[in-house]
Structure 1
Amino acid sequence: MKGMRKYIYLLLMGSVVFATLFLYLGYRHFHGPGPLAEDRAYYLEPGQGLIRTAWQLDQQGYIDGQNIFKLGVKFSGFERGLQAGEFLIPAGASMQDIMMILSSGKVIQHRLTIVEGWTSWQVADYLNGIDNLTEPITELPREGTILPETYLYTKNTSRHDIIRRMQMRQLDLLDDIWDKRAPDLPFLSVDEALTLASIVEKETAIEQERAHIAGVFVNRLRKNMRLQTDPTVIYGIDRKGFLDRPISRADLKADNPYNTYRIKGLPPTPIAHPGRASIEAVLQPQKTEDLYFVANGDGGHAFARSLREHLQNVRKWRKIEKDK
């Protein structure tokens, strides 16, 4: 009987030692450096549980022991704390490090940039080409309604949500600057202002010229002169906003609502998405007597008050084109 008690005692002590050793080795494994050789992103899907997460991490080489990871997460009280999203896992991250990263909510932020002057077709084509966004755009957003900027987003964000954010950014901008506009502008609505801003955007990429060009167009509208701007003609031909050929005389004579060589006033809609600078330029145009402008060969424009002066500038520009 005495020997049996001793045997049981030794057996229990052995079990305790084994359990202690197991916990010690498991603890070291859980906290020790992991197998990842370089920084990598890991995406935890919404609704994904601990078992699947541990299996994926093990299969994809982030950890080398899914059972240890599961036990460590459970004992640490983070079983329901892991969050969905895309996370950056650094090289050599321990299982504990990964647990803390996946429960932090600090997901990877991606960037996309909408270029000032892009049309809705170009915006949709660009967004549809980004692989880590969802829900393809099949119906173009209304022209001129989004604000071109750089936007942050997370993996698997809906493209439609991105569009809505861009539209809200433009509304926020207009709320901020509309009431500060110059008095007596020759347009009454935000839509008309955006239409003119889109034309200014397509006419120049030079920051310092925008308010001047806006001033020229404002003067022409006040005098009931045709705007006679090529970008509107191009948009009337192709809503993508660009042609693979020069504008022809027939194009300038064509009867369409965007041909500002034929119609007076503004076209019916914007012809692109104007940036902040062009919108501000239209709402605070430069005070000028100029009525004309043409390219000057240096990337900018030569401005003129009279038709005679303008025709002289046109001849200079044509000579530059011919010499090229």
Structure 2
Amino acid sequence: MWRSIASNAMTFLVVLVFLLGGALIWAQNEYSSEGPLDQAICLQVARGSNFTRVSEDLAGQGAISSDVLFRLGADYSDKLAELKAGSFLVPEHASMSEIVDIVTRGGASTCGTEVVYRIGVTRATVQVRELDPAEGRYEEVLEFDPGTEEPPAEYAEYTGDVGTRFRIALAEGVTSWQVVEELGQIDVLEGEIGEVPSEGWLAPDSYEVSKGDSRESVIARMREAQEAILAEAWENRDEGLPLESPEEALTLASIVEKETGGAEERPLVASVFINRLERGMRLQTDPTVIYGVTEGQGVLGRGLRQSELREATPYNTYVIEGLPPTPIANPGRASIEAALNPDDSDYLFFVARTLDPADGHVFAATLDEHNSNVAAYRQLEAERDAQQN
């Protein structure tokens, strides 16, 4: 009898082990396999939340098949204490394992609201955008000019959301004074900037920032980025350029930046100035004169006067020989690379092709050709003026 009982108990234990093993294999497969989510979602994880609330939210949105298994998997992988607050994009058919990784890895939020502080040459704007997880693209919610408009009431709600991302988009050709002025208007940053950074040494780019970051730290990141870009471009420069230092290259790049917004034109525009430097010709470029008038503090907002074109200043390249003493704006990578790797051309002149700056320039190797191109441009101006009168 005892032998029969022992035999039955052993059989039961064997079956139980097989059942537990099978359940464990099923659970592991379920945890790691494709999830039921048919469309990407934006998962909000509030500060102070926990895996219980997150798992219930995910189950309610149809992203996981079992909230209990989701929590057990997070516990088994020692991630229960690593939950991060924020807004996270959960892609379609993400496994429970992948979702646990998404909400515990940290870093910037990947979904939800994004506030972009755009610092442009002529104006600055604040843009609030929301990511549409299904489409995978941002849609504008609101936009305003902080210099002339009061922030809409909703703006405070967006900036107060724990999942909101903040980004500063610095355009090519902005001056350092403008950067300092506009950073001072960004209310999610803190602290003061001691002095205006040297002109040209801030890299135009997109910078992710966090609420409470110091303005000086943002300036430092911009400066470090520009130093790295310039060092790389200088290392890979063409041989025989009439540029004695990276600083001179940065100055030329800033002139190229202000003369054209067309990426494809920059190496050709750079070649004109390189050719002029090699021949000992004056650069004769309006943007340098404008910088001498404004000192980089805002936009001139009018045409140059003849007296300004004749006045001897360090930035008047109609009067001085060679380059001005400093850059006249913060050039982007493309302009820096163009200044150090210009096109091979014999052009010495260029003038706008049409009245629309986006149409680029027409280039000339001789003064006669240039005068003909200038005459054509003046004719376009005359026709426009006649239509407006």
Q: How does 1:39-54 map to 2 (within 5 A)?
A: none
Looking at secondary structure, tell me which structure has more strand per residue: 2
Cα distance in 2 for residues equivalent to 1:296 and 1:89: 48
TM-score (norm 2): 0.58
The residue type paired with residue 190 of structure 1 is: P
Taking the aligned partners of 2:339 and 2:292, their CA distance within structure 1 comes to 22
Corresponding residue for residue 179 of structure 2: 123
Q: How many Å separate the matches in 1 of 2:167 and 2:281? A: 43
Given the alignment of the two structures, is residue 176 of structure 1 paired with residue 236 of structure 2, yes or no? no
Which stretch shifts more, 122-131 or 160-169? Answer: 122-131
Instruction: Give 1:270's aligned residue.
Output: 327
Q: What's the offset of the Cα at 1:241?
A: 5.2
> Equivalent pairs: percent with the same residue?
46
Question: Which amino acid in structure 1 is aligned with residue 308 of structure 2?
Answer: D
Q: Structure 1 residue 187: deviation in Å? A: 0.9
State how far apart, in whole Å, the 2-side matches of 1:164 and 1:192 are. 22
1:303 to partner: Cα distance: 0.6
Q: 1:161 to 1:222 in 2, by over 3 A?
A: same
Deviation at 1:106, TM superposition (A): 4.0
Q: How far apart are 1:174 and its partner, in Å?
A: 2.4
Equivalent residue number for residue 127 of structure 2: none
- Greater mean alpha carbon deviation, residues 116-125 or residues 103-112: 103-112
- Distance in 1 (alpha carbons) for counterparts of 2:365 and 2:104: 65
Specify the code of the residue in structure 2 equivalent to 1:169: A
C-alpha distance in structure 2 between counterparts of 1:286 and 1:307, whole Å: 20
Q: CA deviation at 1:163?
A: 0.9
- State the secondary structure of the residue aligned to 1:302: strand
Q: Which of 232, 247, 261 lines up with 2:288 in the alignment?
A: 232
Q: What's the C-alpha RMSD, in Å, of the aligned pairs?
A: 2.8
Q: Which amino acid aligns with 1:264?
A: E
Residue of structure 2 equivalent to 1:322: 382
C-alpha contact (below 8 Å) 1:295/1:317 kept by paired residues: yes
Q: Deviations over 1:40-98 (max 9, x none)?
A: 797x7xxxxxxxx79xxxxxxxxxxxxxxxxxxxxx999x9898xx74499xxxxxxxx
1:1-324 to 2 correspondences below 5 Å: 87-88=86-87, 105-108=106-109, 109-238=165-294, 239-240=296-297, 242-297=299-354, 298=356, 299-324=359-384
Contact 1:226 1:263 (8 Å CA) reproduced:
yes
| Worse overlay, 108-117 or 205-214 | 108-117
**SS class of match (1:294):** strand
> Per-residue deviation at 1:111?
1.3
Cα distance, 1:175 vs structure 2: 2.9
> Gapped runs of 5+ residues in structure 2?
1-41, 50-74, 90-100, 110-164, 385-389
User: Displacement, 1:234?
Assistant: 0.4
Measured in 2, the distance between the counterparts of 1:41 and 1:131 equals 24
SS at match of 1:134: coil
The offset of 1:126, in angstroms, is: 2.1
Higher relative contact order (Cα pairs below 8 Å, separated by 6+ residues) = 1
Q: Flag the 1:250–1:137 CA change in 2: closer, same or farther, 3 A.
A: same
Kindly indicate whether the alpha-carbon contact (under 8 Å) linking 2:233 and 2:336 is maintained by their aligned counterparts in 1. Answer: no
TM-score w.r.t. the length of structure 1 is: 0.69
2:254 partner letter: S
What is the letter of the counterpart of residue 323 of structure 2? L
Rounded to whole Å, the distance in 1 between the matches of 2:340 and 2:290 is 25
| TM-superposed deviation, 1:280 | 0.4
Amino acid at match of 1:236: G
**CA–CA separation in structure 2 for the residues paired with 1:194 and 1:106:** 34
SS at match of 1:112: strand
How far is 1:292 from its partner?
0.4
Indicate if the aligned counterparts of 2:270 and 2:338 stay in contact, CA closer than 8 A: yes
Letter in 2 for 1:157: D
What CA distance in whole angstroms lies between the structure 1 residues aligned with 2:349 and 2:45?
54
Q: Is the 8 A contact 1:198 1:274 kept in 2?
A: yes
Distance in 1 between residues matched to 2:240 and 2:107, nearest whole Å: 49
Distance 1:280 1:310 in 2: 26
Cα distance in 1, alignment partners of residues 376 and 242 from structure 2: 32
